[in-house]
Amino acid sequence: MREPLGVERLLELDRQHVWHPYGPMPGRRDPLVVESASGVRLRLAEPVHGVRELVDGMASWWSALHGYNHPVLNEAARAQLDRMSHVMFGGLTHEPAVRLAARLVEITPEGLEHVFLADSGSVSVEVAVKMCLQYWRSSGRPEKRRLMTWRGGYHGDTWTPMSVCDPDGGMHSLWAGVLPEQVFADAPPAGFTAEEDPAYAAHLRELLERHAHELAAVIVEPVVQNAGGMRFHSPSYLRLLRRLCDEYDVLLVFDEIATGFGRTGALFAADHAGVTPDVMCVGKALTGGYLTMAAALCTSRVAEGISRGEVPVLAHGPTFMGNPLAAAVALASIDLLLGQDWQAEVKRIEAGLREGLAPAASLPGVRDVRVLGAIGAVELDRPLDAAGMAAATEAAVREGVWLRPFGQLVYTMPPFVTGDGDVGRICGAVRAAVEAGAGV
Ligand SMILES: *Cc1c(COP(=O)(O)O)cnc(C)c1O
């Protein structure tokens, strides 16, 4: 056994050597040191503001559906570990990956038949886009290579996904001239239950008509724009996109990396619309938050199109493609989810969030409070700066809750196993974080 580092030394090394997400180097604020996690609680290595355990309102970036240290997922990982952690996927195959692919085909919208197992969400988006561009190339139309999306989206941090992230909220200004220039529609009108806006529908049609000759695909996050601002829109726009893409001969990609596996109240957000995209990405909650894995699924039309080409193969193959350990845990996580009345759990959390977050609407500096499925968000009337963000985070920690506000948002996407008491506690912490953040 190695000697434990001790919190002080650990943080010193962390500052010196370790990049954190979207962070400067060296780091300017000390992260909290987590020692272990169980159920919906993170246990800190030492108390912070007198608090040692935090209810995780983030589900580790929306992935830990069943909470931490779950006996069923632990057992699935252990059993697979004793057989093999990994073997290459080129020329070899194995039961966990095959079963997982078949299971994904079974539970995703009708018509998605083929599965590319990738090692992260961003890579699955790269693969989805590669599939679409290659489809047109193989069909003798290589000029169809641009993408269209709507503003307010987020699709990951590698180059192609970055190019379809929101051009204002993302890093577009920093990378102007470097990122491929895509076609941006206005953000979809807000509101899950809002009526379809004919002017917006005409706007989408006009853009598609104008650019169809150069478009490989339209890519969007269905129903919820997540990291781009936690905005909800009507499923009717997804049906509209499906019709327009068919009419103008453009492929349709749904990025369900954040919305998949029940988060919005439907198993996949596409199910709200009853629409099958040509390509669909899943990730984040795929392994219940245990290991890194994502997938791009496509229809037979896309696969056959690619196979007709001069180069009939999809030239992509991550080293850890189809990782057996991740696949085994993903299968167990899906079984665990579908083996219970998950819709009732999501509805229960939705009701708790509605009740607990409603009072935030009357707090100073609050523009909007919205809830859909197990997603609750409070939007402020201006973005939090670094000090506001730190104050908001600290206020939540004092309430015994882990939150990570960003932009104008204090939000939660808790694990589905969060009990009513803890949902209430998270809502209290969101309100405290809003007051502290808006007060800076
Ligand atoms: C998180 C996310 C991604 C990127 O996934 P990574 O695993 O972080 O690469 C892509 N699209 C959406 C909608 C996401 O929420």
pLDDT score at 4: 87
Pure H helices in 84-222: 95-107, 121-138, 159-163, 198-211
- Out of 56, 130, 135, 154, pick the active-site residue: 154
CA distance 427 to 412: 8
Give me the half-sphere count of Cα atoms (radius 13 Å) on the Cβ side of residue 125. Answer: 27
Q: How much distance in Å is there from the Cα of 287 to the middle of ligand 1?
A: 14
Pocket of ligand 1 (CB under 6 A): 120-122, 125, 154-156, 221, 226-227, 255, 257-258, 283-284, 294
Give, using CA atoms, the residue closest to atom 5 of ligand 1: 121
What is the rounded average pLDDT for all residues in the chain? 96
Task: Check if 255 is active-site.
Answer: yes
φ, ψ for residue 185 (rounded to 5)? -90, 165
Q: Which atom of ligand 1 is nearest to the CA of 120?
A: 7
Give, using CA atoms, the residue closest to atom 7 of ligand 1: 121
Q: Are 420 and 352 in contact (CB under 8 A)?
A: yes
Among candidate residues 226, 234, 220, 120, the one with its CA nearest the CA of residue 169 = 226
| Most informative mutation of 58, 120, 122 for ligand 1 (most atoms within 8 A of CB) | 122
Give, using CA atoms, the residue closest to atom 6 of ligand 1: 121
Task: Give the pLDDT band (50/70/90) at residue 6.
Answer: very high
Residue 68 per-residue DSSP state: B
Q: How much distance in Å is there from the Cα of 233 to the middle of ligand 1?
A: 19
Give, using CA atoms, the residue closest to atom 11 of ligand 1: 155
pLDDT score at 83: 98
Residue range 212-221, pLDDT digits in tens: 999 999 999 9
| Most informative mutation of 126, 129, 155, 279 for ligand 1 (most atoms within 8 A of CB) | 155
Residue range 77-119, pLDDT digits in tens: 999 999 999 999 999 999 999 999 999 999 999 999 999 999 9
* Mean predicted confidence (pLDDT) in 61-90: 98
Report strand pairing: 375-380 vs 366-372: antiparallel
Is this structure's pTM higher than 0.95?
A: yes
pLDDT at 150 over 90: yes
* Mean predicted confidence (pLDDT) in 242-266: 98
- Out of 130, 166, 271, 284, pick the active-site residue: 284
Distances (CA, A) of 18 to 33, 61, 289: 13, 19, 22
Q: Which atom of ligand 1 is nearest to the CA of 283?
A: 7
Distances (CA, A) of 8 to 5, 13, 24, 31, 96: 8, 9, 20, 12, 41
pLDDT at 149 over 70: yes
Residue range 276-302, pLDDT digits in tens: 999 999 999 999 999 999 999 999 999
Distances (CA, A) of 291 to 20, 317, 319, 402: 18, 18, 15, 21
Cα Rg for the chain, rounded, in angstroms? 22
Q: Which atom of ligand 1 is nearest to the CA of 122?
A: 9
Task: Check if 130 is active-site.
Answer: no
Residue range 219-242, pLDDT digits in tens: 999 999 999 999 999 999 999 999
CA distance 192 to 10: 45
CA distance 201 to 24: 41
pLDDT at 27 over 80: yes
CA distance 187 to 167: 11
Task: Check if 135 is active-site.
Answer: no
Task: Check if 249 is active-site.
Answer: no
Q: Are 77 and 87 in contact (CB under 8 A)?
A: no
Burial label, 54 (beta-carbon count in 10 A; 0-12, 13-18, 19+): buried
pLDDT score at 176: 83
CA distance 257 to 361: 29
Residue range 158-187, pLDDT digits in tens: 999 999 999 987 677 788 889 999 999 999
Q: How much distance in Å is there from the Cα of 199 to the middle of ligand 1?
A: 30
CA distance 11 to 34: 12
